[in-house]
């Protein structure tokens, strides 16, 4: 077992992870009750990988995420209230009610708006990293992707470019073994997907994504490598996703053992046990849970009572108006 982190840092991670879990649970029930419009793609069970990777990432370091952005966004520092408002399509949402569940983000905290296309965030992240390098800034871009995205052309093309140009990037694969209903090893012949980085001269590591401290320690190595001008680093986290592909997907294509193993390796429960070893009391853990519960209840209340966007603002922030060929002219 890892000897890191300290009790204080572990408690901070626990709060982030539990907050993500409560947020995902809240929008799940809001969706089922018909209160929240649209559809949702959740990442419940993957909290440890998101928090471990992003916990100490600087505000000026950017993150690119997937069509399951909630955990990444909260871990990066996006306001829970603004995200909940976005789920309700309200003007106070982080994207002013125009993005919905698959397009959340807040660039003020370094969270690039999520991209719903599998692998679609990767070339965008490479572009952001290129901008940092050209501006001689010390910042790094972390890009998240799932196992299925490693079979997309955008993965290989962008990783090759990042390696050739030594872009300051950390590529983070959350491998939950399923791309929609396809088990990843039916369509790949590599036990560890991160090993694909070797083809492009990119160093890589594979970690237990249900243990936030293991992910955190891998992040420290990866960030030092990327920030020192050595180019991209690839991390693969082995994780479990509790829901199917989307809310309402019964995931009958997965064997029952999958969820049995997932619940046995729940990252939040693992960290709670670790905290008790580090000297935290059960009362402290309960206080963290209550604070997160209260924060979520307030976020739902605030979102429900907030105003919808003015229809006159429908084209605001949608186009670059100083482009003479812009369709908004």
Report the pLDDT value the prediction gives residue 36, as an integer from 0 to 100: 84
Report the pLDDT value the prediction gives residue 298, as an integer from 0 to 100: 97
* CA 69/CA 48 separation, integer angstroms: 14
DSSP letter for 245, please: S
* CA 101/CA 228 separation, integer angstroms: 35
Domains of the chain from N-terminus onward: 7-313 (3.40.50.970)
Strands 178-179 and 182-183, sheet pairing: antiparallel
- Which parts of the chain register pLDDT below 50? 1, 326-329
Report the pLDDT value the prediction gives residue 326, as an integer from 0 to 100: 47
pTM of the model: 0.93
Asked whether the beta carbons of 104 and 90 are under 8 A apart, the reply is no
Question: pLDDT tens-digit profile of 106-116?
Answer: 999 999 999 99
């Amino acid at each position: 077992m890892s000897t890191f982190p300290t009790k204080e840092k572990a408690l901070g991670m626990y709060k982030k992870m539990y907050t993500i879990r409560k947020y995902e649970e809240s929008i799940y029930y809001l969706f089922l009750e018909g209160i929240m419009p649209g559809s949702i793609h959740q990442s419940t069970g993957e909290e440890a990988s998101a928090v471990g990777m992003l916990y100490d990432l600087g505000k000026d370091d950017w993150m690119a995420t997937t069509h399951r952005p909630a955990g990444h966004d909260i871990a990066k520092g996006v306001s829970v209230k603004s995200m909940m408002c976005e789920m309700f399509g309200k003007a106070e949402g982080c994207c002013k009610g125009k993005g919905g569940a698959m397009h959340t983000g807040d660039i003020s905290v370094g969270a690039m708006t999520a991209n719903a296309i599998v692998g679609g965030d990767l070339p965008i992240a490479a572009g952001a990293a290129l901008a940092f390098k050209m501006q001689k800034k010390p910042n790094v871009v972390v890009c998240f992707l799932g196992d299925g995205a490693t079979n997309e052309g955008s993965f290989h093309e962008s990783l090759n470019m990042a390696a050739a140009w030594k872009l300051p990037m950390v590529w983070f694969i959350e491998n939950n073994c399923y791309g929609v209903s396809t088990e990843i090893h039916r369509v790949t012949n590599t036990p560890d997907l991160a090993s694909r980085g070797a083809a492009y001269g990119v160093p890589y590591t594979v970690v237990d994504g249900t243990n936030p401290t293991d992910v955190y320690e891998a992040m420290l190595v990866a960030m030092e490598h990327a920030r020192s001008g050595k180019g991209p680093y690839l991390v693969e986290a082995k994780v479990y996703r509790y829901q199917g592909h989307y809310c309402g997907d019964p995931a009958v294509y997965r064997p029952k053992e999958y969820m049995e193993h997932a619940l046995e390796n729940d990252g939040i429960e693992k960290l709670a046990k670790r905290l008790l070893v580090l000297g935290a009391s059960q009362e402290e853990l309960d206080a963290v849970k209550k604070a997160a519960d209260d924060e979520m209840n307030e976020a739902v209340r605030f979102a429900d009572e907030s105003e919808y966007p003015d229809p006159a603002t429908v084209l605001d922030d949608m186009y670059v108006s100083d482009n003479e060929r812009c369709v908004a002219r």
